[in-house]
């Protein structure tokens, strides 16, 4: 049961970070369906940083630079969404879908090219970070503590304070509810929407590096992030675009995702002889059921998905 708690907390941390990123973007008025691709690119930036760290680097330096690289890569990739959807008013759903498809493919090609350049016989899309990963992990008896658990809680509190207790957050949400009214009182809607998308890239990049560090000490980028970006969107909708509700939803979905990792160690679950693939599908099945039951009551920001036009009233 301790192992179940451990995996639940780490998966909930990933979902919280990424869902909060989607929350900021949608509160600004931009639907970010590209969270899956942003996670992959953020994970790529963090993994490349860890791979190229000098041996014996202090743990603090490893953590700081890895997080910084993941954030920079995530924000840079999310800027593609911002340029296309805010500046050129492209369809947000199509652009987000394209970013998801491009993210995994681009990461795979890039990693293979880097590996081949270092070793002509190595054509894999895998990056190894065995020693560097230890900087993120601490053990309390048999419990594996990951620093991303703390980071997720800190960012959750900051997200709530930013959205509801600061001028920036209130202006951001105004741009997602009624951008014309926000513009009429001097708020730059384009800048606020850019801010929302870049914040989603920042948090999506953190979620990506957190995901690949959750289990193994190397990652094959051909696998992407196994639909966690889409699962985070479900968490965001179930959480009604509110930070604390998102955190609770992330715990629920994280629990079902954790079961696929530890069901064999839980007596009554192992005795059921249910194939492991069923447990792997559970969080996605649950997301479909939850969204089907709650979607009618969902209240998304009114102007999300609608390109802003100063001439419209």
Candidates 17, 8, 55, 57; CA nearest to 262 is: 8
Q: E strands within 68-153?
A: 126-128, 137-140, 143-146
Q: Determine if residue 186 is left, alpha or beta; phi over 0 gives left, psi from -120 to 50 gives alpha, anything else beta.
A: left
Average pLDDT, rounded, for the chain? 91
Q: Are 49 and 69 in contact (CB under 8 A)?
A: yes
The confidence score (pLDDT) of residue 204 equals: 98
Average of per-residue pLDDT across 275-299? 81
pLDDT of 271 above 70: no
Question: What count of other Cβ atoms lies within 10 Å of the Cβ of residue 162?
Answer: 18
The total of other beta-carbon atoms located within 10 Å of residue 310's CB is 10
pLDDT at position 166, please? 97
Each residue of 102-115: pLDDT tens digit?
999 999 999 999 99
Question: Assign residue 166 a region: left if phi > 0, alpha if psi is -120 to 50, beta otherwise?
Answer: beta
Q: List Cβ neighbours of 271 (8 Å cut-off, separation of 6 or more).
A: none
Instruction: Take residue 189 and report the two structure tokens written for it.
Output: 């809607």
- Please report where in the chains the tokens 């593609």 appear, as a residue: 80
Terminal-residue alpha carbon distance, the chain: 56
Cα–Cα distance measured from residue 13 to residue 153, given in angstroms and rounded to the nearest whole number: 8
Beta bridge partners of 127: 219
Do 269 and 263 contact (CB within 8 A), yes or no?
Answer: yes
Angle between helices 189-213 and 2-28 (to 10 degrees): 160
101-135 in b/e form (b: 16+ CB < 10 A) is ebbbebbbeebbeebeeeeeeeebbebebeebbeb
Least confident of 73-82, 181-190, 195-204, 212-221: 212-221
pLDDT tier, 80 (very low <50, low <70, confident <90, very high otherwise): very high
Residue 289 DSSP SS3: helix
Q: Which residue has the higher pLDDT, 159 or 260?
A: 159
CA separation for the pair 228, 226 (Å, rounded): 6
pTM assigned to the model: 0.95
Domains of the chain: 2-297 (1.10.3470)
Q: Per residue in 169-209, pLDDT tens?
A: 999 999 999 999 999 999 999 999 999 999 999 999 999 99
231-262 tens-digit pLDDT: 999 999 999 999 999 999 999 999 988 887 77
3-state DSSP helix/strand/coil % of the chain, to nearest 5? 75, 5, 20
pLDDT over 60 at 83, yes or no = yes
Under 8 Å CB-to-CB from 141, ≥6 apart: which residues? none
- Give the torsion sign (CA, 256, 265, 226, 248): positive
CB 163 within 8 A of CB 243: yes
Q: How confident is the model at residue 127 (pLDDT cuts 50, 70, 90)?
A: very high
């Amino acid at each position: 049961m301790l192992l179940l708690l451990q995996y639940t907390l780490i998966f909930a941390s990933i979902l919280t970070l990424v869902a909060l990123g989607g929350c900021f973007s949608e509160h600004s008025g931009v639907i970010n369906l590209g969270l899956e691709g942003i996670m992959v690119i953020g994970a790529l930036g963090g993994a490349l940083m860890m791979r190229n760290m000098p041996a014996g680097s202090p743990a603090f330096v490893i953590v700081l630079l890895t997080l910084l690289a993941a954030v920079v890569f995530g924000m840079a990739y999310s800027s593609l969404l911002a340029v296309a959807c805010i500046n050129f008013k492209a369809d947000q759903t199509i652009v987000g879908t394209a970013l998801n498809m491009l993210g995994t493919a681009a990461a795979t090609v890039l990693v293979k090219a880097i590996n081949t350049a270092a070793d002509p016989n190595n054509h894999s899309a895998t990056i190894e970070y065995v020693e560097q990963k230890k900087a993120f992990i601490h053990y309390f008896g048999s419990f594996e503590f990951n620093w991303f658990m703390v980071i997720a809680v800190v960012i959750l509190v900051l997200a709530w304070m930013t959205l509801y207790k600061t001028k920036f957050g209130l202006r951001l949400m105004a741009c997602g509810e009624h951008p014309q009214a926000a513009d009429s009182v001097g708020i730059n809607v384009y800048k606020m929407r850019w801010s929302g998308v870049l914040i989603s890239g920042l948090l999506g990049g953190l979620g990506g590096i957190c995901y690949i560090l959750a289990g193994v000490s190397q990652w094959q980028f051909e696998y992407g992030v196994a639909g966690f970006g889409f699962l985070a969107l479900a968490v965001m909708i179930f959480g009604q675009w509110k930070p604390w509700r998102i955190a609770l939803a992330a715990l629920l979905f994280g629990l079902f995702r954790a079961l696929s990792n530890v069901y064999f160690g839980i007596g009554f679950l192992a005795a059921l002889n249910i194939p492991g693939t069923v447990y792997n599908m559970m969080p996605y099945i649950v997301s479909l059921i939850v969204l089907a039951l709650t979607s009618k009551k969902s209240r998304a920001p009114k102007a999300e998905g609608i390109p802003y036009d100063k001439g419209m009233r």
